[in-house]
Chain A
């Protein structure tokens, strides 16, 4: 009888130890606030524009952070979670629009505008330079035959003298 009680107690103790070990394991799997916020700061709530999810206090943002925590605990990677939010709520949840499709214009247009601007400046500066060059160049005076004759006579007189 005593042996049975001891065996029962032993089994109970082992069970308790196993349970506490499993509980600790489960706690360790729970993502920390820092892990949740590391992803949350890369997402924006469309309800409160221009506010990253990690510093947003609305109920929608609280729910979204809970969703991130849930996905992390299910073993989802950061990229998978971000992709999930984009699929669910659109690209506006990202801090920058993805460089694809119509969004490409966001990246191409500034460069194109800059290049067109440079081209216009270069063209304009050429037209500005032309009159300046003309102003400072030596004047093209046509040779006057009368003046030439006068100069010739003066030279001869100087030689004779």
Chain B
């Protein structure tokens, strides 16, 4: 009698573990599929904070910049379309740097030597740094470079540009929109 009870107890645990495993695997698959198909970020979505380790050796934590507009430009030196907006981004930075707008360049899948050459070539002076481990690329669900995210003072995504900006005016319009946010 006791043996039978023990056997049925063990069987119960076995069934429980098997179901837990099956449900766990299905949940993981579902999570993976949902995550892979989330698509680009949406306007109004909270922008995840990150720490940028700049090429100059500084660390910029975006969580400390709440209340300011942040423009995050994801680029790479080998990217052929990034060059179209590089000088305009620098001009926009010069226009807005005194108005509390923070510009951050995130260099993705690049080499430091080439990144420095690129920054020098276009005279870019705002803080730039590598996307270590590709984390910012993942967090912001970037699909390719260049992509630019403008985060409002409330930490929500105010504007997004997939591909290069066509002109300085386009950048200005996006920043003004974020300033009004």
Contacts of B113 in A (CB 8 A): 66-67, 70
- Give Cα distance in the complex from A13 to B99, angstroms: 65
Pairwise interchain contact B76-A89, C-beta atoms closer than 8 A: no
Render A86-129 as a binary contact track against B, CB cut-off 8 A, 1 for contact. Answer: 11111110000000000001000100110010011000000000
Q: Which one of B14-22, B57-65, B87-95, B152-160 contacts A?
A: B14-22
Given A116-B21, A119-B14, residue A63 in contact with residue B77 (CB < 8 A) = yes
Interface size on B, residues (CB 8 A): 20
B134 neighbours in A (Cβ, 8 Å): 46, 89-90, 92
In the complex, A60 Cα to B78 Cα: how many Å? 6
Name the distance in Å between B44's Cβ and chain A's nearest Cβ: 28
Q: B87-120: which residues lie under 8 A (CB-CB) from chain A?
A: 109-111, 113-114
- Residue A47 CB within 8 A of the other chain: yes
Total contacting residues, chain A, CB less than 8 A: 26
Is the CB of B132 closer than 8 A to any CB of chain A? yes
Residues of A within 8 A of B22 (CB): 116
Interface digits, A50-65 against B, CB 8 Å rule (1 contact, 0 not)?
0000000011101110
CA distance A91 to B135 in the complex (A): 11
Interface residue? B25 (CB, 8 A): yes
Q: How distant is the Cα of A113 from the Cα of B25 in the complex, in angstroms? A: 9
Instruction: Give A95 Cβ to nearest chain B Cβ, in Å.
Output: 16
A63 CB contacts on chain B under 8 angstroms: 77-78, 110-111, 114
B14 vs chain A, min Cβ distance (A): 7
Q: How far is the CA of A58 from the CA of B113 in the complex (A)?
A: 17
Please tell me if B130 contacts chain A, counting CB pairs below 8 Å.
Answer: yes
Q: Pick the contact of B109: A46, A109, A113, A119 (CB < 8 A).
A: A46
Closest 10 CB pairs of A and B: A59-B78, A90-B134, A90-B133, A67-B111, A60-B78, A63-B111, A63-B114, A116-B18, A116-B21, A46-B109
List chain A positions with a Cβ less than 8 A from chain B.
Answer: 45-47, 58-60, 62-64, 66-67, 70, 86-92, 105, 109, 112-113, 116, 119-120
- Subset of 25 A-B contacts with CB under 8 Å: A45-B109, A46-B109, A47-B78, A47-B109, A58-B78, A59-B78, A60-B78, A60-B109, A63-B77, A63-B78, A63-B111, A67-B111, A67-B113, A88-B132, A89-B109, A90-B133, A90-B134, A90-B138, A109-B25, A113-B21, A116-B18, A116-B21, A119-B14, A119-B18, A120-B18
